[in-house]
Amino acid sequence: YTISNAGAMGGSRYSTPIITPGQVAVLAVGKSRWQPWVVNGEITPRFIMPFSHSMDHRLIDGAVEIAFMRQVIGDLEQPARLLLEQ
C-alpha cells in the first residue's frame, strides 16, 4: 500500500494514482483548503482534503475498498473517536 502526498507539491484536485508493479493499492492525498460546503442545508466553510484511491481489483473487492475509505474518512473527520475505540 502506498500513500502519495500530491498536496505537498501543491496538488489540490483529485487525480488518478497509478498502481506500479508490486503495489496493491495507492492513495493520493491532495492539498487541504477551505471551501464552501453544504451542511444540513446551509452553506458553511469546511476544510476539505481531496483523496483519490486506486487498487488492483484482482486482489481487493470494490466493496471492501469502499468500506475502508469510509472508515478512513470518518476517522479524519472525527479523530477523537480513534482515542475512544478499543
Rounded Cα distance, 17 and 25, in Å: 9
**Which carries the bigger pLDDT value, residue 83 or residue 61?**
61
Contacts of 70 (CB under 8 A, 6+ apart): none
Catalytic option among 57, 59, 63, 84: 57
Q: Given this model, what pLDDT does residue 8 score?
A: 67
Q: What is the pLDDT of residues 3-27, one digit of tens each?
A: 888 776 666 566 778 898 889 999 9
Cβ burial, residue 28 (10 Å; 0-12/13-18/19+): buried
Residues in contact with 55: Cβ distance below 8 Å, sequence separation at least 6, in sequence order:
19, 24, 25, 26, 65
Residue 53 appears among annotated catalytic residues: no
pLDDT at residue 68, rounded to an integer = 92
pLDDT tens column, 54-71: 999 999 999 999 999 999
Do strands 33-39 and 42-48 pair parallel, antiparallel, or not at all (unpaired)? antiparallel
